[in-house]
A = this chain, B = another copy of it.
Amino acid sequence: MTEHASVPEKLDPQECLQLISPGGIGRVAFNDPGGPAILPVNYVLRDNSVIFRTAAGGTLDMGLRTGMAGVDFKVAFEVDRFDEAEHTGWSVVVRGGAHLVSSPEEQAELEKAEVHPWAGGDRHLYVKVAATEVTGRRVGNGS
C-alpha cells in the first residue's frame, strides 16, 4: 500500500456550507426496514438547509412519515468532489433530522427554485434536512 495520499484537513462548518452552496448531486443516507439505505438526489441549499425531492410511497417517504408522527427521522447527506487522478478533493456531510415540506407557501417557493430530481418520475415531495452537524474534509489541494 503506497501512502501517497495526504492527510485530510478538517473544514469548518461555514466552509462546508460554502462548498455545497451551488447545489447539484448529493447522497442521502437513512434507515429503512432493511437497514442503512442510500440514494443520490439533486439538491439545493437554501438558508443553510439542504432541500431535495423524493418519490411519494418510496422508502424514504415512508420513513419521513413516521418521523412526522413525532419520531425524529435522522439522515446523513453527503456531497463531494474528487479528482481521482490527482488524489485531491473534498467531502461534506450534513447530519440532522429530515422532514417533508408541508406548507403550500414553502412548496410553491421551492417549485420556483427548481429543485430537480435526478431520476425524474413522480418525485413531488420536498424534503428538508435541519442540520445539527456539518463536517467536512479536504485532501490535497482540492477545492
Asked whether B40 lies within 8 Å of A38 as measured between CB atoms, the reply is no
Give every chain B residue within 8 A of A75 (Cβ-Cβ): 35-36
Interface of A is mostly: strand
Q: For the complex, what is the distance from the CA of A116 to the CA of B3, rounded to whole Å?
A: 8
A120 touches which one: B30, B76, B139 (CB < 8 A)?
A: B139
Q: Does any Cβ of B come within 8 Å of A31's Cβ?
A: yes
User: Given A34-B133, A36-B30, A38-B38, does the pair A116, B5 have CB atoms closer than 8 Å?
Assistant: yes
User: Given A1-B115, A120-B8, does the pair A84, B25 have CB atoms closer than 8 Å?
Assistant: yes
Q: For the complex, what is the distance from the CA of A114 to the CA of B1, rounded to whole Å?
A: 5
Asked whether B76 lies within 8 Å of A29 as measured between CB atoms, the reply is yes
For A111, give the chain B residue with the smallest CB separation: B1
> Which residues in window 105-126 of A have CB below 8 A to B?
111, 114-121
A80 touches which one: B3, B4, B40 (CB < 8 A)?
A: B40
Q: What are 25 A-B interface contacts by the 8 Å CB criterion?
A: A5-B117, A6-B120, A7-B119, A8-B121, A25-B80, A27-B27, A27-B29, A27-B38, A29-B36, A29-B38, A30-B36, A31-B31, A31-B36, A34-B95, A36-B74, A37-B95, A40-B82, A40-B91, A82-B118, A87-B116, A87-B120, A89-B118, A118-B139, A119-B137, A120-B139
